[in-house]
């Protein structure tokens, strides 16, 4: 597979998109930051073949790495709960899949997560946290404050990562547990790790 | 709106005649019973929940197994709950994925309350707007032959909106243990 199926459509629409540029509300993870690369390296090691995501600034580097990988089908979702079905379908077909989402997206998945429990589908969810350390948008707080509890109630084992050097071993262990044991694993990437949100006008 | 003329059991039975290597993902409730009534098969991934997620399970499976045909067979209520997945599927353009919506314009499991399609909401137009390669209404049983051919040979993504009569049918209850359904499916597909 040389080019991904969505590219033609993106390129066709790029002109209209770039005609009125707008700054993101907060800065994506800087390219020199290494922890998204560490996650990607673990995806490669365990053979992740499908990655579902709703675009997210904290995951922007990792999403770009997955999009550029011809061995990974990157699937942009309209809502995070679609990703749960994607993981199940991938597993039925013999492929490993991972989901990337913001803490708010966890709330969108609650009922659909029962599919993973009922059938024992191994799953790795990487959650970028909002609504905690340094958050100054109060609208992010109610969901961010209950994200880890919600995941546990839905049957996930959860692991928090607070520092860049803990990312690779935690993601590696999480992937191994998910796919060796058909477990549901969530790794919460804390707002302290992701970095301050630099808001622009 | 086209007349609803199809008997759901007869239509699904004809769709699945000589199904060969077709992978089938039926939605929760009546469509799972319809697919079971057409003949139990290890390559049926019966759903008993996960409403709104059926089409996305089909996408994950279609991406994982581009060498096989995948048919999602679900109801209008399930499809309406997952409308965004039509856009997600349209982006990925899986050639081997077909969605059959058995549309009685009702929520049959809960007492036949009208759904959005009863008010003229058009799933075929939505699929085409989401870059599906082909989408059509089938409202007569002689359309089952062409619909079946689409499942096996049509270039996806495809959607067939089958207008079925809003009659209650006897429940045909297949395997219900999710682990067992999964393991049986994966063993038959040799994907475990």
Name which of A50, A78, A85 to mutate to probe chain B: the one with the most chain B Cβ atoms within 10 A of its Cβ.
A85
What does the pLDDT read at residue A22? 59
Does a structural domain hold residue A4? no
Question: Using CA of residue B138, residue B72, residue B96, residue A82, what is the dihedral sign?
Answer: positive
Q: What is the CATH number of the domain that holds A143?
A: 3.40.50.970
What does the pLDDT read at residue A32? 47
Does a structural domain hold residue A12? no
Taking the C-alpha atoms of residue A23 and residue A120, their distance in angstroms, rounded to an integer, is 42
What does the pLDDT read at residue A120? 98
What does the pLDDT read at residue A8? 47
Please tell me which of the candidates B60, B84, B185 has its beta carbon nearest to residue A87: B60
Please tell me which of the candidates A83, A84, A89 has its beta carbon nearest to residue B64: A89
Does a structural domain hold residue B67? yes
ipTM confidence: 0.97
**Structural domain total, chain B:** 1
Residue A94 to residue B49, Cβ atoms within 8 A: no
For the segment B7-56, what is each residue's pLDDT rounded down to a tens digit?
999 999 999 999 999 999 999 999 999 999 999 999 999 999 999 999 99
- A101 pLDDT tier (thresholds 50, 70, 90): very high
What does the pLDDT read at residue A14? 44
Does a structural domain hold residue B175? no
Counting one residue from chain A and one from chain B, the pairs whose CB atoms sit within 8 A come to 131
Cross-strand partners of A187? A126, A159
**Structural domain total, chain A:** 1
Q: What is the CATH number of the domain that holds B103?
A: 3.40.50.970
What does the pLDDT read at residue A13? 43
Does a structural domain hold residue B133? yes
Does a structural domain hold residue B101? yes
Q: Is the pLDDT of residue A89 over 90?
A: yes
Q: Does B61 touch chain A (CB under 8 A)?
A: yes
For the segment B83-142, what is each residue's pLDDT rounded down to a tens digit?
999 999 999 999 999 999 999 999 998 999 999 999 999 999 999 999 999 999 999 999
What single DSSP character describes residue A139? Answer: G
Taking the C-alpha atoms of residue B56 and residue A79, their distance in angstroms, rounded to an integer, is 11
Residue A6 to residue B45, Cβ atoms within 8 A: no
How far is CA B5 from each of CA A198, B35, B103, B106, B186, rounded to the nearest angstrom?
59, 19, 11, 14, 36
For the segment A23-45, what is each residue's pLDDT rounded down to a tens digit?
566 555 554 458 999 999 999 99
Taking the C-alpha atoms of residue B52 and residue B41, their distance in angstroms, rounded to an integer, is 23
Does a structural domain hold residue B72? yes
Please tell me which of the candidates A87, A88, A94 has its beta carbon nearest to residue B191: A94
Q: Is B152 exposed, middle or buried (0-12, 13-18, 19+ CB in 10 A)?
A: middle
List the domain range (segments joined by +) for residue A57. Answer: 33-194
Alpha helices in chain B (DSSP H): 8-15, 30-37, 54-64, 76-81, 84-92, 123-129, 144-153, 178-189
How far is CA A51 from each of CA A87, A100, A117, B48, rounded to the nearest angstrom?
8, 7, 20, 25
Does a structural domain hold residue A25? no
pTM of the model: 0.91
Does a structural domain hold residue B98? yes
Minimum CA–CA partner of B27 in chain A: A85
Minimum CA–CA partner of A3 in chain B: B92
Does a structural domain hold residue B179? no
Does a structural domain hold residue A199? no
User: Residue B32 has which token pair?
Assistant: 């799972």
Q: How far is B142 from chain A (nearest CA, A)?
A: 31
List the domain range (segments joined by +) for residue B49. Answer: 8-168
- Contact (CB, 8 A) for B63 and A90: yes
């Amino acid at each position: 597979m040389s080019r991904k199926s969505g590219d033609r459509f993106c390129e066709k629409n790029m002109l209209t998109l770039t005609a009125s540029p707008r700054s993101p509300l907060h800065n994506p993870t800087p390219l020199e930051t290494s922890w998204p690369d560490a996650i990607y390296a673990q995806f490669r090691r365990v053979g992740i073949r499908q990655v579902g995501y709703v675009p997210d600034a904290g995951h922007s580097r990792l999403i770009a790495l997955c999009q550029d990988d011809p061995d990974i089908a990157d699937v942009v979702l309209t809502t995070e709960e679609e990703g749960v079905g994607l993981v199940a379908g991938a597993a039925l077909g013999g492929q490993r899949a991972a989901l990337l989402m913001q803490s708010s997206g966890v709330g969108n998945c609650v009922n659909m997560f029962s599919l993973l429990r009922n059938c024992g589908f191994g799953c790795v969810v990487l959650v970028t946290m909002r609504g905690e350390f340094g958050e100054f948008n109060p609208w992010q707080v109610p969901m961010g404050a209950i994200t880890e509890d919600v995941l546990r109630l839905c049957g996930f084992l959860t692991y928090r990562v607070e520092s860049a050097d803990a990312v690779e071993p935690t993601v590696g262990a999480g992937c191994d547990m998910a796919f060796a044991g058909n477990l549901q694993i969530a790794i919460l990437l804390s707002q302290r790790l992701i970095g301050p949100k630099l808001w622009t006008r | 709106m086209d007349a609803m003329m199809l008997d759901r059991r007869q239509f699904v039975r004809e769709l699945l005649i000589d199904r060969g290597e077709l992978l089938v993902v039926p939605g929760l409730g009546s469509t799972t019973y319809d697919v079971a009534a057409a003949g139990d098969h290890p390559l049926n991934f019966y759903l008993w929940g996960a409403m709104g997620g059926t089409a996305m399970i089909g996408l994950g499976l279609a991406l994982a197994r581009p060498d096989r045909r995948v048919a999602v067979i679900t109801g209008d209520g399930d499809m309406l709950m997952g409308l965004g997945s039509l856009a997600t599927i349209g982006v990925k353009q899986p050639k081997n994925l077909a969605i059959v919506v058995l549309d009685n314009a009702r929520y049959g499991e809960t007492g036949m309350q009208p759904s959005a399609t009863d008010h003229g909401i058009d799933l075929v137009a939505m699929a085409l707007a989401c870059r599906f390669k082909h989408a059509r209404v089938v409202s007569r049983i002689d359309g089952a032959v062409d619909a079946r051919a689409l499942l096996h040979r049509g270039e996806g993504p495809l959607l067939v909106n089958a207008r079925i009569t809003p009659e209650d049918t006897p429940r045909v209850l297949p395997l219900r243990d999710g682990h067992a359904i999964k393991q049986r499916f994966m063993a038959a597909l040799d994907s475990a």
